A = this chain, B = another copy of it.
């Protein structure tokens, strides 16, 4: 019962979400954003935007809702920069002291191959389109269900592609947040399950830019950069939401839609393969919480589906020679087909929009290979524009704003074998925001 209540509420309240309205305007939104980026500095100097320090008119708003994700190149021209940033990220791919040099070297070598992959999926990643859509639509729902913190303003901050964290921060300033004017912002990770490689990296990047643009470095006065920054933005973090009932419902509905494509007599025999991006074993063994949280999502979705199908959690996108967590998605598909289990459904379970790993790796590589082996393998649609999902995002945000918490208890705990001082500082900073909430 408890799992279904939010969904029942959802179906009556989701009507304001008008996908068609948004879908008609992405180009203009994009143009507007490019304009903002180019002229942001000039506009900031003019200071025509009123301050947004929370006042007493019954609302604590406006509230900036910042969607954090890895991002992807919107065009093939952006692939080089995207890969260069990705391989330079020591939180994602630890290459040691030679990180910047090695990262650039690897990215230059891989760019042509990856450009081809993006060309094959339509010339770029749709993740920016979906992220901006999800953020905008969520904010509309939030304005209704959380008037105390309205208006809610949508932002996107990608780790490796435009809009980058620094672009997002510039937009916050343009819109009247921070720089002595205070204001409230929520860093909302779009990875449902927490990994130091994903959400952790985005938070470290946000902390870095916040320190550069709005505060002294924490080590200067040993106050975590929180107390001294009068009029700086007050941040809180939604750092994980692996089993939120709305998320689970959104996954379950998309899975049910795919299962319905199979004839009734084989439907319950289809094997569900929940596929998540793998991690190097060095990260798993350091104590990264991601594998356990992904497993929690999978189990919650299977419970919602009544355990009607056999399933496995498998791991994709392994690169390089080191050991990664398995079983691997590609091997699993091939092995099951060879064992005679031809009906398989792939469920991307750790990412909420389409990206190269669904549109190319699953659709064009794994499913194509499976067809050659005689398999009947289909992929569940990514959450993308799912109204159930966007409503879930709004519910998660509302619960967070009402909780008055800077972040989860779990976020404050570093991995047992973590040696990154950047991680320690960043966690201390965000947890320290509690005193300003």
Contacts and interface: CB of A to CB of B under 8 A. Distances in A.
Given A287-B327, A326-B284, A335-B417, A409 B299 contact: no
A410 B292 CA distance: 19
Interface in A305-329: 307-314, 323, 325-328
A2 interface: yes
A312 to B, nearest CB: 6
Interface residues of A, number: 51
A243 B331 contact: no
A123 interface: no
Contacts of A332: 287, 416-417
Contact of A293 (B242, B286, B299, B323): B299
Interface string A398-437: 0000000000111011111100000000000000000000
Contacts of A298: 292, 296
A1 interface: yes
Nearest to A408: B307
Given A284-B326, A296-B299, A323-B281, A310 B416 contact: no
A416 B296 contact: no
Interface in A261-312: 268, 271, 281, 284-287, 289, 291-296, 298-300, 303, 307-312
Q: Which of A1, A287, A312, A328 has the most CB of B within 10 A?
A: A287
A339 interface: yes
B287 A413 contact: no
A336 interface: yes
Interface in A329-355: 331-332, 335-336, 339, 341
Contacts of A325: 284-285
Contacts of A331: 416-417
A110 B391 CA distance: 58
B292 A416 contact: no
Contacts of A308: 409
A251 to B, nearest CB: 15
A341 B427 CA distance: 15
A300 to B, nearest CB: 8
A215 B391 CA distance: 56
B293 A410 contact: no
Given A281-B281, A296-B299, A335-B417, A311 B1 contact: no
A343 to B, nearest CB: 12
Nearest to A310: B413
Contacts of A314: 287, 416
A416 B274 CA distance: 13
A414 to B, nearest CB: 7
Given A299-B296, A327-B286, A410-B307, A312 B416 contact: yes
A251 B104 CA distance: 49
Contact of A291 (B287, B291, B310): B291
A413 B1 contact: no
A311 B325 CA distance: 21
A415 B273 CA distance: 12
8 contacts: A271-B413, A289-B312, A291-B291, A291-B295, A307-B409, A307-B410, A310-B409, A336-B416
Pick the 10 closest A-B CB pairs, nearest first: A285-B326, A295-B295, A296-B299, A310-B413, A292-B295, A287-B327, A332-B416, A335-B416, A292-B313, A2-B2
Interface of A: 1-3, 242-243, 268, 271, 281, 284-287, 289, 291-296, 298-300, 303, 307-314, 323, 325-328, 331-332, 335-336, 339, 341, 408-410, 412-417
